[in-house]
Amino acid sequence: MPIPDDERKRYSNFFLQLTQDLGSMAIQQGAIPWQDTVLWHYTNGRALIGIIDSMSIFSTHISCLSDTSELRYASMLFQKALADLRQTIGGDETTLEFLDVALNYFKENPDFPAQAVVPYFVTCFSDEKDDLSQWRAYAGGENGYAIGFKARDLMGCKNCMLARINYDGNLHRELAQKAAAATVKFFHEGIKKYAPVDKTKWSGEFFEAWEPAITMAAPLVKDPAFAKESECRIVKGFHNEIDQLKFIQKGSLMSRHLPIQPGVGTASGSYRLPIAEVMVGPCRHPQISRTSIDTLLRQKGYETGLVSISKIPFQIT
């Protein structure tokens, strides 16, 4: 029998509990109210022009991010938690058999990587304003830009949530163990509650319903080594918007992107991205770039004076 809707809702509620445990909704920075916290999207000049021309931020499929290990980080923690849980099970043959099936279902397959088809796109921001490491990593060095948005203006996008990334490795392992235990718990409770005739078929349907619920947490965690990025993300669920997908050929893969438009339109019905500031990154001609970006913004209906210049000196390496 198919997994009933009320059972699927229980799985989604478990994900919501994970987001609370991770502190994912805690956007506030210091004494600044979360609504006024400015989040920075570091990018290069070509992408900046594309963003302003299209009035869209381009979210990236999680498998196509610069750090391809991101989703595998959460996946490997969960797989290890399942394996560790199996070691604690005594003579419960039903649970042992189920965990063997679970480990096989969730294991990495290099020929068909699971992260390639998960239905999540992300757009990355940082609390860190004018940060040298992010100019280097995400803005292409010279000719980089950072677009500032107030957190409150990044709300309101359909099928999206704005969340803070958690870098606490100990907490990640703890929650992976919690997810592994819940995997067994929800499976057994479903068997008891619905008494399916074919338990093997039920287990397959269970995994298909359970996997999306727990993988929703994967974009919210990163390896502790990246903690200095102080990242927040818009995480967008993919709901068959195939006609909106954009594709970019990168150095080693073709990436998928979904344009998103956070915030709301003006009273006249026109829409502009809620840009609070644009910062010109370290470069040889910052004043010229500043004037050009200010002109581009005014061309699109923004007020003047939104463009600033990085205080980090430019160095030719």
At residue 10, the pLDDT reads 94
At residue 35, the pLDDT reads 78
Residue with the larger pLDDT of the pair 307 and 199: 307
* Whole-prediction pTM: 0.87
Confidence of residue 26 (pLDDT cuts 50, 70, 90): confident
Q: What is the DSSP letter of 128?
A: -
User: Is pLDDT of 265 > 60?
Assistant: no
Mean pLDDT is lowest, of 66-70, 106-110, 184-188, 245-249, for 66-70
User: Is pLDDT of 120 > 50?
Assistant: yes
User: Is pLDDT of 29 > 80?
Assistant: no
At residue 269, the pLDDT reads 62
At residue 264, the pLDDT reads 60
At residue 203, the pLDDT reads 86
Q: Long-range contacts made by residues 50-57, C-beta under 8 angstroms, separation at least 24? A: 51/147, 51/273, 52/273, 52/296, 52/297, 52/300, 54/259, 55/261, 55/271, 55/272, 55/273, 55/300, 56/259, 56/260, 56/261, 56/273, 57/123, 57/234, 57/259, 57/260, 57/261, 57/262, 57/273
Contact 261/273 with Cβ under 8 angstroms?
yes
At residue 271, the pLDDT reads 87
Residue range 225-231: average pLDDT? Answer: 91
> Exposed/middle/buried for 107, CB within 10 Å: 0-12, 13-18, 19+?
exposed
At residue 266, the pLDDT reads 47
Contact 221/115 with Cβ under 8 angstroms?
no
3-state DSSP call for residue 10? helix
Q: Residue 35 corresponds to which tokens in the numbers above?
A: 């609504």
